[in-house]
Copies of this chain bind each other. A is one copy, B any other.
Amino acid sequence: MTTYREAMRAAIREALQRDDRVFLLGEDVGRYGGGFAVSLGLLEEFGPSRVRDTPLSEAGFVGAGIGAALGGMRPIIEIMTVNFSLLALDQIVNNAATLLHMSGGQFNVPVVIRMTTGGGRQLAAQHSHSLEGWMAHIPGLRVLAPATVEDARGMLWTALQDPDPVLIFEHGSLYNVASDLADDAGAVDIDHAAIRRTGADVTIIAYGGTVPTALDAAEALAAESVDSEVLDLRTLRPLDDAAILTSVAKTHRAVVVDEGWRTGSLAAEICARVMESAFYDLDAPVARVCSAEVPVPYAKHLEAAALPSAERVVAAVREVVGAHV
């Protein structure tokens, strides 16, 4: 069994081994071993130049990573958590996402920016954001959300081959998830969504930390003979419209599970797209299970109430499936 954390670490190690232009930089990625212990041991293996601790200066080191990419390197930038990425948004939005276009195609920015995202660990309002859907608003970026150990192992290398900036969001609750991983597991495609469970009655669309939630809900629903298809988006920008529409064309019903706040969520985008492209396929409006629109509270019971849960997904599916089952 391999944990998501170990898979991520193996992916970084492989990248450092295979391409000497690759290096890891971020706060405490070296001696500390990473805020979430993802890079533990890599400093010893690759040295302080390629596993590069930075001071607390998110704008500075994210911008430096972008500059290094312009200079021919392939940086993996770790922002300890998505919450701190707000300090680096100018660099991400105004530079990384924009330079290629502004320069008329001359300067691409082959950088990968990884960060931990999400709530559920009682870290309260400043440490529990789920901003991956929000970031997916920005043209010029590609946004990934590995939900499985296999994707944690395989998305990084593919992302590093992308000539343009890629953000990878690792949900904090996934690091300890373990599953079997083939010895030769390696790069995976990052262009397509994946069906994690096939079903006929409803499509539950999820990504990252909400995939296990969706699968749990699907299990519970199976007991009520509701047969759910679970679609893992995997890539949040660009969205795999075909996968979404194919599934919805089959089930005629969908529920989107998204840990982002409801208003302006990625779930809203999916609703809009399904309506635009499959309006007449739908037997019910697409439903959303998102986070409550509150800064995430510390207290366990309040936090749990704020975030999507299998129970809330089950309830939403029941509503969508309605009297038809």
Contact = CB atoms under 8 A, between A and B. Distances in A.
B237 A97 contact: no
Contact of A264 (B87, B134, B140): B134
Interface string A248-283: 000000000000110111111101100110010010
A264 B264 contact: yes
A293 interface: yes
Given A101-B294, A102-B295, A284-B279, A237 B263 contact: yes
Contacts of A126: 94, 98, 102
Given A94-B86, A285-B276, A124 B137 contact: no
B86 A102 contact: no
A288 interface: yes
A294 B134 contact: no
A135 B317 CA distance: 30
A19 interface: no
Interface residues of A, number: 50
Contacts of A90: 84, 86-87
A70 interface: no
A104 B312 CA distance: 26
A139 interface: yes
A37 interface: no
A259 to B, nearest CB: 13
A215 interface: no
A111 interface: no
A97 to B, nearest CB: 7
Nearest to A124: B102
Nearest to A264: B137
A183 B294 CA distance: 41
A207 B263 CA distance: 17
A253 to B, nearest CB: 12
A80 B260 CA distance: 29
A263 B269 contact: yes
Given A97-B295, A285-B276, A125 B137 contact: no
Contacts of A178: none
Contacts of A212: none
A208 interface: no
A167 B13 CA distance: 44
Given A139-B293, A267-B272, 5 more contacts: A86-B89, A139-B261, A268-B271, A275-B285, A276-B287
28 contacts: A86-B89, A86-B90, A87-B89, A87-B90, A93-B129, A94-B126, A98-B126, A101-B294, A101-B295, A102-B125, A102-B126, A134-B134, A134-B137, A136-B263, A137-B263, A137-B264, A137-B265, A138-B261, A139-B293, A139-B294, A139-B295, A263-B269, A264-B264, A264-B269, A268-B271, A271-B271, A275-B286, A276-B287
